[in-house]
Structure 1
Amino acid sequence: MATDKEKRSLTWAQITKSLCAGGVAGAVSRTAVAPLERLKILMQVQGNEKMYTGVWQGTSHMFRNDGIRGMFKGNGLNCIRIVPNQAIKFLTYEQLSRKISHHLIDNGGDGQLTPLLRLSAGAAAGVVGMSATYPLDMVRGRITVQEAGNPQYRGLWHATGCIIREEGLLALWRGWLPSVIGVVPYVGLNFGVYETLKDVIIKTWGLRDERDLSIAVRLGCGALAGTMGQTLAYPFDVVRRRLQVSGWSGAKNLHADHGQAVAYRGMMDCFVRTVREEGIQALFKGLAPNYVKVVPSIAIAFVTYEQVKEILGAEIRLSD
């Protein structure tokens, strides 16, 4: 019989393995689609003078102007952000799911989460993970869109210092509100649809548990979940990026108003002005490369997470 101390030690070991798996999943999935991620952001913040018009044209333009290294600009910072973000997000989802499952069992249920409960747990996990690392995302967004030939920021610490000194500490949280609103359907649907699809397939095919699912099936479930979540949340992602570069002179070539960098008063002002000046379609700028990106990105993240956990011997699984 294990003592309480041994049980706590085992629990922390499993949590540590889960955090590591989440971090690896985030780094691998984002690096795999880094050029498309940068293209999406560049398309989101540009105004009516379009430099990037599509996936192929935008990718070619980036390659000609910035080279291979330029196509991955900001990916190092993205990985620094996404490793703790994904680790916290996956762990939060697992812990919330376990708490809800135990509550259902204590009240006479079978402990199985409904699609709505999975979506709610996923949404909460997304808000926690995003909020914990938001300043890194804001700084990464600035570095990603700055001109290659005339960069204002030399790196993470230089950019952070400049932003705080010139715009104030709260500038690091610019765009947080639309991010919170957008992350609820995005991450909620990611987890909810992914877990529900796996559960349906397992029951339909008469399998024992999720370990009997092939990697191809898991990739398909992850891709569908990511596509649904991203479509609903995308306008909020566009507004978030625009608020992050609001009033910043380094973005004026991408988002200009009579030669001056556009400054928004807040989320609703950004929504209204974007639609009024550029049309409703502006809220979906960059959606094409994002679709190309999100399918492999979300799928790779889920599958990598589960595979790394199996390699590490972690007992906590998404479906537990």
Structure 2
Amino acid sequence: MICGAISRSTAQTIMHPANTMKTILQQAPSTSAKLTFSQLMRPRNFKMLTRGAGAQWLLSVPHGACNFAVLELTRRVMGNLLTSSSSVGPSLGPALDFTSSAIATICCSVVSTPQMMITDNIMAGKYANLPQAVKGLYASNGVKGFYGGWFPGIVGKIPSYGLTWVLFQQVKRTQLLLCSRPPTNFENTAMGCLSSAATVCVMIPMDTIKTRLVTQLSTSPTAYKGIMDCARTIIKEEGAGAFYKGLPPRLLSVVPMIGIQFGTYEFMKKVILKKNAQLKDTKGKRKEEGEDGRRETFNRVSQEVAADDDQPYPVPGTGK
């Protein structure tokens, strides 16, 4: 949980401006300022790209902690159960990675969906800050207002997160076979970037649909009735190219973000595992030294007590 919280909050905070740019470009034309990618890159718009950064950081801490903890636990439990079967082969690795990622995504949607609803609406300019977003979403539909984008979010996140995690693990396995050593921190970051880039190019249409549905929930009347209606409307009114308006900033935000996240996660795992090993080693040495010290003290005291004028020899069995 510590590794996941640090890695996700670090990555999402660093790449927040690019993620904000992506959200602005993916909005429906009627609710946006129709800014282009080149206009958003101008210095006068830099402040706009930082809105929601505080909320993103705050909400990414529990999200990252929950996601990676459930992911690692699920992989370990499922791996232990499946390895007991003789029919399990190496081809099950990607399936196990994808399934564990899907389970973690569904479990963590309790945390991730409110984060998505709050931050996407702040980045889209609907609310100025976290308190206003919380108040506005709650006023729209109570607690359900924070989970209005649950289904489109899950539909997009399960294949997106799952595919990224599968590709990352497969690239790691390939690296181990080729180099016969664990990957370095830089290599983990590079492999995370490669995996996320491939996933973004495949999943960008679904991400656009998700953003449209999430950012329109607080408006009335709603423009889209669901995922399929949103997809048909975009194609009919704007053309298929509208799905890829947010691709450049999406690549700029997600690719380095996932690279930083996976690189930081693997680094933190190494640090904590090394620290745990050192603590166990120190504890073992202290225990051993304590036993040896007590034995030596007993022997010395026995020698001193026994070697007196009346009995000038050590007590039998207590010393040499």
TM-score (norm 1): 0.77
Q: Distance in 1 between matches of 2:224 and 2:168?
A: 36
1:196 aligned partner, one-letter code: Q
In terms of mean alpha carbon deviation, does 131-140 or 181-190 score higher? 131-140
What SS does the aligned partner of 1:264 have? Answer: coil
Find out whether 1:43 has 2:13 as its counterpart.
no
The answer to whether the 8 A contact 1:222-1:295 is kept is yes
Find out whether 1:64 has 2:38 as its counterpart.
no
The answer to whether the 8 A contact 1:35-1:59 is kept is no
Per-residue CA distance 1:266-288 (angstroms, 9 max, x = gap): 22222211111111111222111
Match of 1:103 among 81, 89, 98: 81
Q: Distance in 2 between matches of 1:57 and 1:71?
A: 12
Per-residue CA distance 1:229-288 (angstroms, 9 max, x = gap): 222222222122211222645xxxxxxxxxx97532222222211111111111222111
Give structure 1 regions of 4+ aligned residues with deviation exceeding 4 angstroms.
109-113
Per-residue CA distance 1:121-178 (angstroms, 9 max, x = gap): 22222232234321222021111111xxxxx645323322222223444232222212
Q: Distance in 2 between matches of 1:271 and 1:36?
A: 24
Identity of aligned residues (%): 25
Match of 1:205 among 161, 174, 179: 179
Q: Distance in 1 between matches of 2:236 and 2:109?
A: 29
The answer to whether the 8 A contact 2:188-2:266 is kept is no
1:102 positional shift: 0.6
Cα 1:102/1:109, change in 2 over 3 Å: farther
Q: Distance in 2 between matches of 1:299 and 1:223?
A: 4
1:64 positional shift: 1.1
- Structure 2 alignment gaps of length 5 or more: 277-320
Q: How many residues align?
A: 274
The answer to whether the 8 A contact 1:77-1:140 is kept is yes
1:189 positional shift: 1.2
Query: Hey, what does 1:120 align to over in structure 2?
Result: 99
Find out whether 1:193 has 2:167 as its counterpart.
yes
Cα 1:228/1:125, change in 2 over 3 Å: farther
Query: Hey, what does 2:61 align to over in structure 1?
Result: 83
2:187 aligned partner, one-letter code: V
Find out whether 1:305 has 2:288 as its counterpart.
no
1:51 aligned partner, one-letter code: K
The answer to whether the 8 A contact 1:22-1:87 is kept is yes
What SS does the aligned partner of 2:41 have? Answer: helix
Q: How does 1:160-171 map to 2 (within 5 A)?
A: 160-171=134-145
What SS does the aligned partner of 2:223 have? Answer: coil
Query: Hey, what does 1:230 align to over in structure 2?
Result: 200
TM-score (norm 2): 0.77
Q: Distance in 1 between matches of 2:214 and 2:88?
A: 45
Q: Distance in 1 between matches of 2:58 and 2:112?
A: 9
Per-residue CA distance 1:52-76 (angstroms, 9 max, x = gap): 322x43221xx414x54x3211111
Query: Hey, what does 2:295 align to over in structure 1?
Result: none
Q: How does 1:206-221 map to 2 (within 5 A)?
A: 206-207=180-181, 210=182, 213-221=183-191
Q: Distance in 2 between matches of 1:228 and 1:126?
A: 19
1:181 aligned partner, one-letter code: V
Cα 1:237/1:163, change in 2 over 3 Å: same
In terms of mean alpha carbon deviation, does 183-192 or 128-137 score higher? 128-137
- Structure 1 alignment gaps of length 5 or more: 1-18, 147-151, 250-259
Cα 1:93/1:109, change in 2 over 3 Å: farther
Query: Hey, what does 1:241 align to over in structure 2?
Result: 211
Query: Hey, what does 2:247 align to over in structure 1?
Result: 287
Q: How does 1:16-35 map to 2 (within 5 A)?
A: 19-35=1-17
Q: Distance in 2 between matches of 1:127 and 1:85?
A: 12
- Output the aligned Cα RMSD: 2.6
